[in-house]
Amino acid sequence: MTDTKPPAAAPEEQRPPAEETFFQRFMRELTGGSILVTILSVVLALLIGAVLIAASDPDVQDRASYFFSRPGDTFEAAWNSVSNAYSALFTGSIIDINEYTVGRALRPLAETATNAAPLIAAGLGVALAFRAGLFNIGAEGQIILGAILAGYVGFGWHLPAGLHLIVGVLAGLVGGAVWGGVVGLLKARTGAHEVIVTIMLNYVARFLIAYLLTTAAFQRPGASNPVSPIVDDSAQLPRFFDDSRLHLGFVLVILAAFGVWWLLERSTMGFEFRAVGANPNAARTAGMSVSRTYVWVMLLAGGLAGLAGVMQVLGTERYLTSGISAGLGFDAITVALLGRASPWGTVAAGLLFGALRAGGVPMQAGTGTPIDIILVIQSLIVLFIAAPPLVRAIFRVRVRSAGQPVAGLQRGWGA
């Protein structure tokens, strides 16, 4: 896949079989496309982001008013604006070369991992559902439910150290799994389309947490704004370093990625997931229960998103707010797409987007470039990745589609 040089007599791209459904085609592009397309997409997205940063910079605009007499000034200002923003992004997420000790220079990297952990967990949930042919747009709601239950165990119950953390994590997993499982159950029993149900459940979850934070059981005593008490020390995911927020959640998430990989590639259940994703009718004919698969896959996907909620409330933030999901649910979709719905791809994509999140904060503070540019770059990356022909046309490269297609079936609302 990494071999980007086309062979001398490269056959034209294999034409997809005529019966291929569009989701199969999409999954084939998603899983079979070359790494080159990914890299080019990232480059293209960063370029467009750069244009946006430069064009909206007041300094650049001032100099552009006399562009025709001194064009160099405009370009210089544009270069400064873009390079300042992107270098702040880099030093904020990878390595800060202005720091003197190795530990402090690498602190941005720990921050990247902290941001990446919930993204990967939720992204795994979305990716797992993808493999069974389901669109899990509902990571947002599942994160919130996971955070509600984990948080409540964290500050509402007072258990011995060790046990407290385990119960809290399990509660979060259950919360997410229930919110996801409802979707699978409705899909299996009534045929309700999972995209509609998950979108709706996201909003139900948002209003639910907003309501809970106004009740006596959840609101921090003495606080006038809707925040919960801080979770007990015994329920917090332990942090590795003194001056970094990096916590045990990152290890959990790597274990989860391994678990998803094992499930999909090595277990009977994972085989059934993939079979149903490839062709539910064939899977049914082969004696698999499609309904049961939908319920299980959504339970597991919800549980993974719930893990992201656990990490937010027991690891990073340590108390509940109505913004606990912090847009992770929608970023998780882009992470899963960028990771081409494979467990390790999702980990890599989660690290990239975690780096963008981590670097965005110091970038906004240091250069005044709004952090929202991250959203633009992320969504552009995914758009370009989803349409490889477009990227190829822009860069005029020929990319060989390689790898085994992961077939999937996706029909419209009515399916």
Select from 247-255, 278-286, 295-303, 382-390 the region that touches other proteins (CB under 8 A). Answer: 382-390
CA distance 119 to 345: 13
The residue (of 93 and 322) whose beta carbon lies closer to other proteins is 322
In degrees and rounded to multiples of 5, residue 352 shows phi and psi of -65, -50
Size of the site for other proteins (CB under 8 A): 58
CB 346 within 8 A of CB 256: no
Select from 95-103, 112-120, 245-253, 407-415 the region that touches other proteins (CB under 8 A). Answer: 407-415
Report 245-274 residues binding other proteins (CB under 8 A): none
Report 136-175 residues binding other proteins (CB under 8 A): 137
Report 5-44 residues binding other proteins (CB under 8 A): 18, 21-23, 25-26
CB 168 within 8 A of CB 235: yes
Overall residue count recorded for the chain in this entry = 415
CA nearest to 257, candidates 128, 98, 361, 169: 128
Write down the least CB distance from residue 59 to other proteins, Å.
11
CB 140 within 8 A of CB 269: no
Distances (CA, A) of 217 to 22, 152, 212, 322: 49, 9, 8, 15
CB 236 within 8 A of CB 318: yes
Report 81-140 residues binding other proteins (CB under 8 A): 135, 137
Among 191, 221, 222, 287, the residue binding other proteins under the rule CB under 8 A is: 191
Interaction pattern, residues 200-239, with other proteins; x per rule: CB under 8 A: xx-xx--xx-xx--x-------------------------
**Tokens found for residue 355:** 């780096």
The residue (of 203 and 240) whose beta carbon lies closer to other proteins is 203
Q: How far apart, in Å, do the first and last CA atoms of the chain sit?
A: 34
Select from 89-97, 266-274, 277-285, 380-388 the region that touches other proteins (CB under 8 A). Answer: 380-388
CB 148 within 8 A of CB 209: yes
Instruction: Give me the sign of the Cα torsion angle 177, 180, 182, 186.
Output: negative
Report 320-339 residues binding other proteins (CB under 8 A): 330, 333-334, 337
Among 190, 225, 268, 285, the residue binding other proteins under the rule CB under 8 A is: 190
Select from 92-100, 152-160, 189-197, 236-244 the region that touches other proteins (CB under 8 A). Answer: 189-197
Report 45-74 residues binding other proteins (CB under 8 A): 52, 56-58
The residue (of 159 and 387) whose beta carbon lies closer to other proteins is 387
Write down the least CB distance from residue 187 to other proteins, Å.
9
**Tokens found for residue 407:** 């077939």
Select from 6-14, 88-96, 184-192, 344-352 the region that touches other proteins (CB under 8 A). Answer: 184-192
Helix (H) or strand (E) holding 205: helix 194-212
What is the secondary structure of 297-338 as a DSSP string?
HHHHHHHHHHHHHHIIIIIIS-S-BTTTTTTHHHHHHHHHHH
Q: Does 378 bind other proteins (CB under 8 A)?
A: yes
CB 408 within 8 A of CB 14: no
CA distance 302 to 139: 7
Write down the least CB distance from residue 352 to other proteins, Å.
16
Place of tokens 């509902």: 138
Q: Which residues bind other proteins (CB under 8 A)?
A: 18, 21-23, 25-26, 52, 56-58, 135, 137, 186, 189-193, 195-197, 199-201, 203-204, 207-208, 210-211, 214, 330, 333-334, 337, 369-370, 372-380, 382-383, 386-387, 389-390, 410-415
